């Protein structure tokens, strides 16, 4: 290579380096100075998956204990009308689902679909979340089997179960005008007002099989107050009562996390 060619190459290289430094330095600084977050699409901080685990709101499902649909059943209210209930077991104390769609299907003894109902529900952390759909019209056909399924993936987040702040006391089963009735007192032990609180009563026989259910709701449950709850049914029970579950159901709240 001639001296002139070497000089031209050196000149071109110098120009290239000048612009590379002039343009590349601000870009590199911007990239390297961007703080790590739970929304950057990168597994950083102490995350166990991309934007999951560590300090992030989203939970890495691989580290969760499996949830389960314990059972789903239909309960006759009157001829042609049923309530459908499912028990969802979530053993994870600090993780829940904010919202997920579901589907109930009810079949007769010949496995013919007689009714169905869809809805949206949350899953409370660390316990049982009952899902109930009331007054389902079956066209006077008898329900023999009830199935329940979630119809979208479950998105697990760090959540707090507020239903644990509610205590249930003075449970009593009685007959009024020959019709069954369950009464209890519920108390909000927390310092917060709980909104959209529902209570699901499920009646089991001595073998542990659920055979009837009912629900009631409170729009606002003020702190340090007590509510008297009454659950009734329009017809006598056809089985002897073994136990009655009274489950408070409260929308869970997102747990605070330290997000950079």
Q: pLDDT tens across 23-76, in order?
A: 555 554 444 556 788 888 889 888 899 989 989 999 999 999 999 999 999 999
- For the residues 133-157, what does the mean pLDDT come to? 96
The answer on pLDDT for 155 being more than 60 is yes
- How far is 77 from 214, CA to CA, in rounded Å? 9
Question: pLDDT digit string (tens) for 196-244?
Answer: 999 999 999 999 999 999 999 999 999 999 999 999 999 999 899 999 9
Residue 123 lies in a domain: yes
Least confident of 26-35, 155-164, 176-185: 26-35
Reduced to 3 DSSP states, what percent helix, strand and coil does the chain have, rounded to the nearest 5?
15, 50, 35
Residue holding tokens 């542990």? 208
Residue 145 lies in a domain: yes
User: 232-239: long-range contacts (C-beta < 8 A, 24 or more apart)?
Assistant: 232/176, 232/179, 232/180, 232/181, 233/77, 233/179, 233/180, 233/181, 234/77, 234/78, 234/179, 235/78, 235/179, 236/178, 236/179, 236/180, 237/180, 237/203, 237/211, 237/212, 238/211, 239/205, 239/209, 239/211
Owning domain of residue 241:
65-254
Residue 31 lies in a domain: no
Residue 17 lies in a domain: no
Residue 99 lies in a domain: yes
Render the burial of 89-121: b for 16+ CB within 10 Å, e for the rest: ebebeebbbbebebebbbbeeeeeebbebeeeb
Residue percentage of the chain with pLDDT more than 90: 74
| Nearest CA among 250, 260, 217, 212 for reference residue 232 | 212
How long is the chain?
260
- How far is 213 from 231, CA to CA, in rounded Å? 9
Residue 81 lies in a domain: yes
**Strand 194-204 to 243-249 pairing:** antiparallel
Residue 39 lies in a domain: no
Residue 43 lies in a domain: no
What pLDDT sits at residue 29? 43
- Tokens encoding 61: 């499902």
Total domain count, the chain: 1
What pLDDT sits at residue 207? 95
More confident residue, 106 or 1: 106
- For the residues 130-145, what does the mean pLDDT come to? 96
- How far is 249 from 178, CA to CA, in rounded Å? 29
- For the residues 99-118, what does the mean pLDDT come to? 97
């Amino acid at each position: 290579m001639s001296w002139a060619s070497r000089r031209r190459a050196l000149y071109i290289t110098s120009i290239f380096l000048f612009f590379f430094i002039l343009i590349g330095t601000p870009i590199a600084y911007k990239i390297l100075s961007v703080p790590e977050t739970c929304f950057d699409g990168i597994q950083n901080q102490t995350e166990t998956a991309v934007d999951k685990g560590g300090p992030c709101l989203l939970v890495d499902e691989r580290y969760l204990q499996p949830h389960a649909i314990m059972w789903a059943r239909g309960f006759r209210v009157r001829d042609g009308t049923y309530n459908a209930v499912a028990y969802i077991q979530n053993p994870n104390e600090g993780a829940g689902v904010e919202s997920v769609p579901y589907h109930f299907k009810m079949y007769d003894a010949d496995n013919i679909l007689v009714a169905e109902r869809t809805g949206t529900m949350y899953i409370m952390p660390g316990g049982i979340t009952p899902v109930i759909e009331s007054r389902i019209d079956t066209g006077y056909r008898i329900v023999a089997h009830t199935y329940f399924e979630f119809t979208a993936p479950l998105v697990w987040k760090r959540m707090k179960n507020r239903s644990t702040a509610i205590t249930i006391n003075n449970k009593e089963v009685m007959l009024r005008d020959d019709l069954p009735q369950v009464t209890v007192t519920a108390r909000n032990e927390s310092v917060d007002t709980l909104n959209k609180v529902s209570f699901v009563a499920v009646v089991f026989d001595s073998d542990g099989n659920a055979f009837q259910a009912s629900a009631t709701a409170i729009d606002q449950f003020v702190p340090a107050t007590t509510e008297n709850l009454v659950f009734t049914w329009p017809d006598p029970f056809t089985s002897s009562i073994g136990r009655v579950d009274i489950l408070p159901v409260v929308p869970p709240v997102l747990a605070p996390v330290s997000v950079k």
